[in-house]
Amino acid sequence: MARKPNITISYEDLRDIEDQLSKIKLPSERYDELEKELIRAKVVNQKDLAPDVVAIGSQVTFKISKFDKHLTKTLCLPLDMNKYDDGISIFAPIGSALLGLRAGQKIRWNTQSGEQHIDILEVKRKVRYLVCE
């Protein structure tokens, strides 16, 4: 298996993801995959997160090599999906694969349809919606 690229996330994103994980039921395989990503991440304060790092609320343009297709999506929590026309959930396999990557990085991961390759082309940080309880 190829080495996964380094990822960085904010304490705020980690808190919100863990909060959502405690409230919803993910299939155990998806939960384990996401937890592995979170464990290997370098965690920093939001203010120290580089602007080209994919965070919750970031609009990211990426290429899925298998389809030679460029997509632009906004990474968000499931409860915020209706706030974005281009939203993709952090709990979707591709959403959790994007989290913490920087523009210019690539990642490979296995899916039900085989190995996928993603190239991060551009990251734009949007004003993030806050999780309200």
Model confidence over 47-90: pLDDT tens digits? 999 999 999 999 999 998 877 789 999 999 998 999 999 999 99
The CATH number that domain 8-125 falls under is: 3.10.50.30
Q: Give me the DSSP letters along 53-121.
A: B--TTEEEEEEETTTTEEEEEEEE-GGGGGG-TTEEETTSHHHHHHTT-BTT-EEEEEETTEEEEEEEE
> What's the pLDDT score for residue 37?
85
- The pTM of this model reads 0.85
